[in-house]
Amino acid sequence: MKEERPSDPLARLGERLDRAERRRAERQGKSTPGEGLGFGFRVGVELVSALAVGVGLGYLADRYIGTRPWGVIVGFFLGAAAGMLNAIRALREWGKSSGPPPSA
């Protein structure tokens, strides 16, 4: 390292910190595969769990209120809608935090 060095060690440290900071900022724009995988799994679980809750509530209603078979049918569709809602919300959050800004 024969580059021009500031005599003050603190200034040198500051320079190195600046460089590290810049490198970190560059890296932060990209998402790692692990992150993407985790997020994909998150959306999947979100979709399924709402459906399970919807069907479960419908089943309970059928069993204890005696609305058979409408509880499970209605619960299925409401649960599916809620799952979609959850997934869309999670995806929107993802776009806000790291993706490129929406064009147009």
Per CB under 8 A, contacts with other proteins among 50-79 are: 50, 52-54, 57, 78-79
99 binds other proteins (CB under 8 A): no
**Among 6, 41, 63, 96, interactor with other proteins by CB under 8 A:** 41
Query: b or e along 68-102 (b: 16 or more beta carbons within 10 Å of the residue's beta carbon)?
Result: eeebbebbeebbeebbeebbeeeeeebeeeeeeee
Which pair of tokens denotes residue 52? 């399970």
Write out the residues near other proteins by the rule CB under 8 A. 34-35, 38, 41-42, 45-46, 48-50, 52-54, 57, 78-79, 81-83, 85-86, 93
